């Protein structure tokens, strides 16, 4: 079941959902609108290797905006820090953003119960398009879970994206290939 606006507010009151900064005008009927943070990143190498860390070049979005180019992957981050302690958060692009040819994630739209961080976005554009920090970029939808959770994301030893940062985080797939770790 997807939480309604009233349920999201109630869960925020109880402390099981946190959105910071919270703007009441961003609360929709059954979602919360999030905004593009100040930072973008691109990978520093043209070829990526899933078994090795790949450095990124991180830069602040200028006040005049930044033009996304087709055939380029950009990592970005939400302006909002979120915590979801009892629900599964899904991040989807806003339809107005999609109608500009912008995809905000390729596969990572679902969070886990216990995820407490900013959201890294995997942005691509179908046509050149200028974007700006603080623009609406996506919406969080919260799903109820059924059953007991043994280990939430915040306590999971294998969780790769727990370190809190308001800058884009590159893939850490290479950690799955370290000696003694199962590949996932």
So what's the pLDDT on residue 80?
98
Q: Which domain holds residue 133?
A: 5-149
So what's the pLDDT on residue 181?
57
Alpha helices in 2-145 (DSSP H): 5-14, 95-98
- How does DSSP classify residue 2? B
In a domain, 99, yes or no: yes
pLDDT along the chain (184 residues), means of 10: 97 98 97 98 95 96 98 97 96 96 87 94 97 98 93 87 93 84 51
Q: Which two three-digit tokens encode residue 43?
A: 């990978």
Domain holding 94: CATH number? 2.70.40.10
Q: For 104-165, where are the E strands, in sequence order?
A: 115-125, 129-131, 136-144
Does 122 qualify as catalytic in the annotation?
A: yes
In DSSP terms, which residues pair with 18 in a beta bridge?
83
Taking the CB of residue 163, how many other CB atoms lie within 10 A of it? 8
pTM across the whole model = 0.91
Alpha helices in the chain (DSSP H): 5-14, 95-98
In a domain, 158, yes or no: no
Q: Which two three-digit tokens encode residue 179?
A: 């000696």
So what's the pLDDT on residue 50?
94
In a domain, 156, yes or no: no
Cα–Cα distance for residue pair 62/110, rounded to 1 Å: 29
Decide: 166 and 39 in contact? Cβ < 8 Å.
Answer: yes
So what's the pLDDT on residue 184?
47
So what's the pLDDT on residue 179?
63
So what's the pLDDT on residue 158?
84
In a domain, 183, yes or no: no
In DSSP terms, which residues pair with 130 in a beta bridge?
67
Sign of the CA dihedral running 147, 139, 17, 119: positive
In a domain, 104, yes or no: yes
Decide: 104 and 97 in contact? Cβ < 8 Å.
Answer: yes
Decide: 48 and 172 in contact? Cβ < 8 Å.
Answer: no
In a domain, 88, yes or no: yes
So what's the pLDDT on residue 182?
53
In a domain, 136, yes or no: yes
In a domain, 160, yes or no: no
Number of structural domains (the chain) is 1
Choosing from 79, 92, 122, 144, the catalytic residue is: 122
So what's the pLDDT on residue 180?
56
Cα–Cα distance for residue pair 109/122, rounded to 1 Å: 10
């Amino acid at each position: 079941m997807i939480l309604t606006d009233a349920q999201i507010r109630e869960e925020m009151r109880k402390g099981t959902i946190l959105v910071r900064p919270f703007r009441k005008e961003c609360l929709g009927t059954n979602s919360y609108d999030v905004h593009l943070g100040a930072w973008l990143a691109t990978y520093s190498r043209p070829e990526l290797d899933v078994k090795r860390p790949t450095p990124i070049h991180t830069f602040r979005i200028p006040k005049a905006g930044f033009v996304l180019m087709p055939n380029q992957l950009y990592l970005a981050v939400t302006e909002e820090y979120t915590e979801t302690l009892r629900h599964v958060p899904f991040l989807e692009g806003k339809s107005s953003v999609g109608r500009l040819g912008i995809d905000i994630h390729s596969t990572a739209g679902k969070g886990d119960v216990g995820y407490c961080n900013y959201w890294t976005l995997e942005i691509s554009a179908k046509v050149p398009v200028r974007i700006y920090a603080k623009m609406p970029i996506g919406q969080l939808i919260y799903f109820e879970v059924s059953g007991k959770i043994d280990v939430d994301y915040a306590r999971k030893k294998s969780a790769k994206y727990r370190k809190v940062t308001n800058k884009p985080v590159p893939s850490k797939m290479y950690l799955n290939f370290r000696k003694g770790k199962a590949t996932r």
